[in-house]
Chains A and B, each alone.
Chain A
Amino acid sequence: MSDLDEPSASEPEPGKEHSTNASSWQGECLAWLRKTISDIGQRSFARLRKTISDVGPGLFIILAVEIVVFRFLSPYFFTVSNFLSIGRRMVTTGIMAAGETIVIIAGGFDLSVGSVAAAAGTGAAYVLENTGAGMPGGVATALAIGLLVGLVNGAVTGYGRINPLITTLGTLAIVRGIAFLMTNNRQIDVKNPIFKQLGRGFTRENWDFVIYYDVLFLIGVFLVFGFIIPRYRFGRYMYAIGSNERAASLAGVQVNRWKLVFFGVCGMLAGFAGLVNSFKLVTAAPSYNQGDELEVITAVILGGASLLGGRGRLLGTFLGLLFLAILLNGLVISGVDSFYQRIATGSALILAVLFDEWRRSRISRH
């Protein structure tokens, strides 16, 4: 309590009109609240500025160039409804990418996110349609499936000392296989009204746009983890373990336990992504989200995370996602054959890694 308002003692009082002159407790409460909020605001702002400078201007520039290019290639590009569809396009891979960023910063890697999303979406739809558990049951199922696979990934890479690439390549196949087995490769349509509603959005009479719930989920996930990472051990140890696992362990960090946490969170977010994806489609099938891991990892690497671990930013990942979503959307509306989408994503991935490598070698030569 006392150390909450301590740092702002020297700061100018933002609103000192009539809130403090009366000795009324409401006035004092209000003043304290204002001070605290402005204090938190200022510190968050300073942190945001540092984050932006860490991410660097490169991505912002590339993004701007990309937008200008597509602006000229297609008249349809620069419309509200197209921006909305870009936003919706980012949702599933975006929620997965938040988890992937965490795992990659912590020095790991997760290829299983696409499979987990498909299995979680299908599991949720199955529970909703075949049991009386309703919406809470569906959500819990999706998150539990994600968490379970994430914990397995974390345990095998941590305690089992197996390379995460191999581990999650294995679970990628296993999880999808199980999903096919359980559903007999059937698509499950969901009739639950809340479920359907969450896949839509809301609007007002005088708005010419829709606010989609799934876009809000995406933004929510990034805000929540953007809040957690600088404030809790979670974020500190994520960077420490990715940067020097041995040093972290010698410092008393329970490295393997934290790997469970990081992979668990990543799995859970992948499960959530699968759930949100099935809200949007009002249906789920074990064959969904194939190849999503390519887009997810591309976005994370584009965002500046290092495959060696220890480096990366959620904001960077978000910009990487945006870049990729705009690229794929722009190709489609410019009338480019859809097969080029995968070629473009793959190329973006390799270019991003090349760029990262080049940047690193340039810095270390100084």
Chain B
Amino acid sequence: MAEIALELVDIEKSFGPLEVLTGVSLSVPEAGCYGLVGDNGAGKSTLLKILSGVYPRDAGEIRIMGKPVDFHSAIDARFSGIEMIYQDLALAGELDAASNIFLGREHYRGSKYPPFRWLDHKRMHAEAAKVLESVGSRLSTDRQVKWLSGGERQLVAVARALEFDPRILLMDEPTAALSIEKVNEVTRLISRLKDRGVSMILVSHRFTDLIQVADTIGVLVHGRIVDEFEVVGQSTDEMTTRIVRLMGEADAGALK
């Protein structure tokens, strides 16, 4: 068994009186892919945002390669090698694709220090084109993001995350707006990332996409992982009924 890259122990989070996460524990091995499913509002995005440093957690522990970590901002998480693709993509619409991909860590030319170094547009566009191509997109890098289609935007967000060369990649609905063809592209990409040793947590409502790439599936209900199983050796139908039953039970429980 590979080493554990990311481990969560009893993560809790409330927004005021609303208890969103009531003790989530899970672990992702190196080069592993953990698929997280759950109903709308189950707390999936909240969990990922705690991991990417956007929200502080109320309780619990996050360990990366066995070491406990504490994030106060998205930059902290990035320093630990965590990169996240947000559900709303978090792109600046008025900027072009290349500027979005390199936002926050621009390349410069000239001297090493501020007044005599300036943005290296040429290099950023060239590298942006390269990373976009690696996700199967031939998008022109000087297109303004606000005019892009939902799928194109999603690819820009994926490309942006990859450009940071993360060790742990969190993806909140990375395929929601993509066509079947592009989904396959992203699926292939995820496999390639696994080969490169990247660990991932994937949130998706498209269960069929998820089981193509995930090694482990966790079901989040009422702020807790209520079921967890390995994908290998189970049929799609088996897994689907298992999840549907769990979510159904949860609803029934909530009604009581």
**A residues neighboring B (CB under 8 Å):** 3-4, 7, 230-233, 236, 239-240, 242-244, 246-253, 310-311
Determine if B34 is an interface residue (Cβ-Cβ < 8 Å). Answer: no
A252→B74 contact, CB < 8 A: yes
From the candidates A3, A244, A253, name the one contacting B91 in the complex (CB within 8 A).
Answer: A244
A233→B86 contact, CB < 8 A: no
Q: Which residues of B contact A244 (CB under 8 A)?
A: 90-94
From the candidates A232, A239, A240, A247, name the one contacting B119 in the complex (CB within 8 A).
Answer: A232
From the candidates B74, B75, B95, B114, name the one contacting A243 in the complex (CB within 8 A).
Answer: B95
Within the complex, the shortest CB–CB distance from B142 to chain A, in Å, comes to 9
Q: Which residues of A contact B93 (CB under 8 A)?
A: 243-244, 310
**Which residues between 105 and 153 of chain B lie within 8 Å of chain A, taking CB atoms?**
105-106, 109-110, 114, 118-120, 122
Considering the complex, give the chain A residue whose CB is closest to the CB of B111: A1
The CA-CA distance from A7 to B122 in the complex, in Å, is 9
Within the complex, the shortest CB–CB distance from A312 to chain B, in Å, comes to 10
Interface residues on B, range: 20 to 34
Q: Which residues of A contact B109 (CB under 8 A)?
A: 3-4
Determine if B8 is an interface residue (Cβ-Cβ < 8 Å). Answer: no
Give the one of A239, A247, A253 with max B CB within 10 A: A247
Q: Describe B's contact surface by its main secondary structure.
A: loop
From the candidates B92, B118, B120, name the one contacting A247 in the complex (CB within 8 A).
Answer: B92
- Per-residue CB contact flags for chain B residues 78-116 toward chain A (1 = under 8 Å, else 0) read 100000001000111111000100011110011000100
Considering the complex, give the chain B residue whose CB is closest to the CB of A232: B118
Q: Which residues of B contact A249 (CB under 8 A)?
A: 74
From the candidates B54, B95, B106, name the one contacting A233 in the complex (CB within 8 A).
Answer: B106
Within the complex, the shortest CB–CB distance from B67 to chain A, in Å, comes to 22
Give the one of A3, A243, A311 with max B CB within 10 A: A243
Enumerate the 6 nearest inter-chain pairs by beta-carbon distance, A residue then B residue, closest first.
Answer: A251-B104, A310-B94, A243-B94, A252-B104, A231-B118, A243-B92
Given contacts A249-B74, A250-B54, A252-B74, contact A239 B95 (CB under 8 A): yes
Within the complex, the shortest CB–CB distance from A93 to chain B, in Å, comes to 26
Within the complex, the shortest CB–CB distance from B181 to chain A, in Å, comes to 25
From the candidates B103, B104, B119, name the one contacting A231 in the complex (CB within 8 A).
Answer: B119
Within the complex, the shortest CB–CB distance from B17 to chain A, in Å, comes to 23
The CA-CA distance from A215 to B75 in the complex, in Å, is 44
The CA-CA distance from A232 to B114 in the complex, in Å, is 9
Given contacts A239-B94, A248-B103, contact A4 B74 (CB under 8 A): no
Within the complex, the shortest CB–CB distance from B36 to chain A, in Å, comes to 20
Considering the complex, give the chain A residue whose CB is closest to the CB of B53: A250
Q: Which residues of A contact B95 (CB under 8 A)?
A: 236, 239-240, 243
Q: Which residues of A contact B99 (CB under 8 A)?
A: 236, 239-240
Q: Which residues of A contact B73 (CB under 8 A)?
A: 252
Considering the complex, give the chain A residue whose CB is closest to the CB of B114: A232
B103→A240 contact, CB < 8 A: yes
Q: Which residues of B contact A3 (CB under 8 A)?
A: 109-110, 120
Within the complex, the shortest CB–CB distance from B109 to chain A, in Å, comes to 5
The CA-CA distance from A251 to B106 in the complex, in Å, is 11
Within the complex, the shortest CB–CB distance from A277 to chain B, in Å, comes to 29
From the candidates A4, A239, A253, name the one contacting B104 in the complex (CB within 8 A).
Answer: A253
B90→A252 contact, CB < 8 A: no
Within the complex, the shortest CB–CB distance from A139 to chain B, in Å, comes to 21
A250→B94 contact, CB < 8 A: no
